[in-house]
Chains A and B, each alone.
Chain A
Amino acid sequence: MIRSEILREIAPILRDHLVVCNIGLPSQELHMIDDQPTNFYMLGTMGLSSSIGLGMALAQDKTVISIDGDGSVLTNLGTLPTIANNVTDNYILMIIDNGSYGSTGDQPTYAGKKTKLEAVAAACGCENVVTCKDVDTGKVLQAAIDSKKMTVIVVKCDSGNIKLPVITMDPVVIRDRFMKAVQA
């Protein structure tokens, strides 16, 4: 499965939670598949999905799911020790690990070579790290939500993209809509 197929499959689970979605194609795909006020779309700032999501989770009680990519986590690798050392059980970091920088032309990442992000996360001190196959994403994500334990999920999947439009929604509208959904 490629990332958009996974997002389509887990959209019914994501809908009930606060989601911080990674820059580029992941946000565009989620926006097209199931736009919700509870989705925060990153329009820029590669690498910070996990940090924004952690800040959200630390600030309030609702479950927050950061959808990140292997390339973006590599960009902000310092996020994993921060997550590990600031445990908040309403936080899930889901890394869609397709071994490539999908939004920029599918250049290979080091995660697709020798680097194992699940091992990096564990070495950083993350206590619940789950690696799963693409087809099991929904099951694993729901289990992580139900466990009420901070979890890092590394989803191994195929690289590949679909053609879709950019998000034209104004960033302040995205942010305002999201903050109202947080408070609802």
Chain B
Amino acid sequence: MSISSKIVDDFVAQGVNFITTVPCKQLAGVIDEVEERPEIHHIPSNKEDEGMGLCAGAFMGGKKPAIIMQNTAIGVTINTLATLTQYYRMPLPMLISYRGELREPVACQVEMAVHTKALLNQMLIPTFHFHKEADAAELPEILKYTFMCNKPVAILTDASFWGGYGDQ
């Protein structure tokens, strides 16, 4: 089974049924899986703060939401995380492609990578980092934890986790 299928299986098994996505090359396989699953209402969004608004509404409407996005989105969503997700105490698993780490071919991606963990730390967002495929075994527990504590939780998935970019 592909890692993308396994991740989405875990989302479904934990009752996650509303996912908004902003594309990333590394997340393409996961996004395709999300789109295919009848158990998940998939709403692509144009920007990550918009996606977090959709997730907040879906949560209050009775769904278990999640967002899939790139780490550059942390720079876009600080205000939304602080004044919506955290202020109203809402759960939000954030599956994040961690661009700008080892094997990254695009220099500019490193510029946000160096801020990613510092910003998440500053926001007191519980953060998990998947570096090897075996690390994804923790995903079910991370999802349970997120909905237990009603907080946004970050799952950073780097290039090594995804097996590189395939063209180097």
Contact = CB atoms under 8 A, between A and B. Distances in A.
Task: Specify whether A and B are partners.
Answer: yes
B58 interface: yes
A182 B58 CA distance: 11
Contacts of A53: 57
B46 A78 contact: yes
A20 B56 CA distance: 11
B47 interface: yes
Given A45-B53, A45-B79, A52-B54, A59 B61 contact: yes
A43 B87 contact: yes
A76 interface: yes
- Where chain A touches its partner, the secondary structure class is helix
A52 B53 contact: yes
B61 A182 contact: yes
Contacts, number: 115
Interface residues of A, number: 34
B84 A40 contact: no
Given A51-B50, A58-B18, A76-B50, A82 B45 contact: yes
A54 B60 contact: no
B55 interface: yes
A81 B51 CA distance: 13
Given A43-B83, A44-B83, A44-B87, A58 B49 contact: no
